[in-house]
Amino acid sequence: MRYTVPRFFSRKSLLILSILSIAVLGLFVGVLSARADVAPPQFPPGANPEIDQVTHVRMMDERVVIEIQAEDDVDVMGTARVWAEFRMENLGSNTEKLMVRFPISYSDGFRGYPEIDDLMVYINNDSVPTTKISLDGDPEKWDDPIKWSEFEVVFPPGEIVEIEVDYTLHGTGYYPFVTYSYLLETGAGWNGTIGSAEIIVRLPYFATTANVLIDEQTGWGSTTDGGILSGNEILWSLEDFEPGYENNITVAMVWPSVWQRILEEQKHVYDFPTDGEAWGMLAKYYKEVSRFSKGYREDPGGVFLHEQSIAAYQEALDLLPDDALWHAGYADLLMWHSVWGSGFTADSRAEFLEGLYQLYLAYQLDPDHEYIQQRLRYSFYGDVVQEENGEFDFLWLTQTPTLAAVEPQETAAPQADPTAISQITFTPQPGPTQSQPGASGDGTTVDEEKAEKKTLPICGSTIIFPLGLIAAVVFPKIRSKKCW
């Protein structure tokens, strides 16, 4: 059931509210327009091996598999295991003995240089030793020397030599989004062009436009154009190219641990459709992966997740109408979206009022809850005031003698595929078709073995209205069992 808040403001008060809102938003116009966060520390990206001398050796083809590891701990961003295979051919007439190197450290942007510590190198399937070396960084960027692993390779004329590197790749990001990178440009020193390259990012579940960000910026990275979503993989294929910066591969996605929790909650609400707590947790996770710290995802997958969050909150409140925190969580979803997602325009005013009404209900149900009081005290500009006795007065209610009866509007709750318990249909609408690059898979498979429910400790953002940006610096996130 969807609650619609009646128009409590007079025409004059709406005008005043609009002017005040525009003034407040103007203070944050740079934030709203940029929406980019301060970049998180960058771990060493994956990269092709390179050399710094003239050679007749050409990289005929390469195949890189970046396998995202499954992760259950929602406090952990996640890692990937990388297997990169290169087929090299000496096109000259003489044997070449080259020192090949692979980057194992990288400037993280904060004067740190994290390293890859488990690199393994194989030449024609035989493990070979490596030596750490340091090369000068970019003096214009005040970079310190960068560490590499170096190894010797012999290239007889006319023969194919296979090089394989295996290592762990760490992602870069903030909850709940992460990016993984692979640099093809470091292979530019080999002779001629690279014949062909296949880069595969393999997820532990179906890859969709909901969990892989297509045409969307996280603030520190985005998914490289041209990737094809197929099953649980994202694939890039290149032919006969001179590798440069524009060829580097990045994929932006939801933390694997967070997406796994979504899959678990999807299955739980399918098995136990009257569990209001499960619907609330599903709504919360949908909400968190549909928005950034300063804005909303505008890609089809993000829009779909926002709609699913609304439907799941409504389902939770139908089952648990007296649960203050789920009302507060729903208010957070609506009011955040009315400001960051819609820019607090006239069209989004009704959404904002509905969110305010949900917060009013939360306060009526649990007036002493710390999170609810915090939102009322610091998130609004004249809509709610705190009296000397500590109670809150909802000024927007004074335009009507009583709290008007709300008119229910039915909104379809997210449904599982009735043909298979193990699968929940997950096709964003509108979205790319299967014939388009970046199209999602035909569904999101739920791991049936992960049916056990666990406590979900990570809370969503506390910011609802622009003035809440200030409060968020002073008042940290409040964690609870349910975390709205």
Distance CA 299, CA 290 (A): 9
CB 66 within 8 A of CB 200: yes
Give the CATH fold of the 46-254 domain.
Answer: Immunoglobulin-like (2.60.40)
Q: Is the pLDDT of residue 343 over 60?
A: yes
Bridge pairing between strands 79-90 and 131-135:
unpaired
Q: What share of the chain is helix, strand, coil (3-state, %, to 5)?
A: 30, 25, 45
Q: Is the pLDDT of residue 476 over 90?
A: no
Distance CA 17, CA 381 (A): 9
What is the arithmetic mean of pLDDT over 328-339? Answer: 89
Closest CA to 249 of 62, 116, 434: 62
Q: Is the pLDDT of residue 405 over 70?
A: no
Closest CA to 7 of 349, 355, 476: 349
Q: Which of 102-106, 185-189, 410-414 has the highest mean pLDDT?
A: 185-189
Q: Is the pLDDT of residue 247 over 70?
A: yes
Closest CA to 441 of 149, 212, 180: 212
Least confidently predicted of 175-184, 344-353, 371-380, 429-438: 429-438
Amino acid identity, residue 128?
V
Least confidently predicted of 20-24, 117-121, 123-127: 20-24
Find the angle CA(48)-CA(51)-CA(93) to the nearest 5 degrees: 110
For 404, half-sphere exposure in the C-beta direction (CA atoms, 13 angstrom radius) is 16
pLDDT of residue 414: 46
pLDDT of residue 237: 97
Mean pLDDT over the full length of the chain: 75
pLDDT of residue 402: 35
Q: Is 1.25.40.10 the CATH number for 11-34+257-474?
A: yes
Q: Is the pLDDT of residue 327 over 90?
A: yes
Domain boundaries, the chain: 11-34+257-474, 46-254
Bridge pairing between strands 96-103 and 79-90:
unpaired
Which positions ≥6 away from 250 have C-beta within 8 Å? 179, 180, 181, 182, 221, 222, 223, 224
Distance CA 461, CA 77 (A): 17
Closest CA to 167 of 269, 64, 20, 39: 64
Least confidently predicted of 37-41, 62-66, 396-400, 447-451: 447-451
pLDDT of residue 462: 34
What ranges make up the beta strands (E) of 91-159? 96-103, 120-123, 126-128, 131-135, 146-155
pLDDT tens profile 248-293: 999 999 999 999 999 999 999 999 999 999 999 999 999 999 998 7
Angle between helices 276-289 and 256-271 (to 10 degrees): 150
CA–CA distances in Å: residue 422 to residues 202, 261, 444: 20, 15, 9
Distance CA 122, CA 97 (A): 16
* Beta partners for residue 163, in sequence order: 86, 123
- Residue 155 is encoded by which pair of tokens? 């290239």
Bridge pairing between strands 120-123 and 126-128:
antiparallel
pLDDT of residue 105: 77
Q: Is the pLDDT of residue 112 over 50?
A: yes
- Residue 222 is encoded by which pair of tokens? 């985005």
Q: Which of 10-24, 179-193, 412-426 has the highest mean pLDDT?
A: 179-193
pLDDT band at residue 144, thresholds of 50, 70 and 90?
Answer: low
CB 65 within 8 A of CB 198: no
Coil, strand or helix: which one is 268? helix
What is the arithmetic mean of pLDDT over 454-482? Answer: 33
pLDDT band at residue 336, thresholds of 50, 70 and 90?
Answer: confident
CB 207 within 8 A of CB 441: yes
Between 359 and 143, where is the model more confident? 359
Which positions ≥6 away from 401 have C-beta within 8 Å? none
Closest CA to 166 of 86, 278, 244: 86
CA–CA distances in Å: residue 152 to residues 63, 85, 129, 162: 21, 16, 9, 13
What is the arithmetic mean of pLDDT over 316-329? Answer: 96
What ranges make up the beta strands (E) of 376-450? 384-386, 392-394, 423-424, 444-445
What is the arithmetic mean of pLDDT over 149-167? Answer: 96
- Residue 411 is encoded by which pair of tokens? 């909104």
pLDDT of residue 342: 62
Query: How many angstroms separate the first and last alpha carbons of the chain?
Result: 18
- Residue 381 is encoded by which pair of tokens? 């500009």
Q: Is the pLDDT of residue 442 over 70?
A: no
Question: H or E stretch including 192?
Answer: none
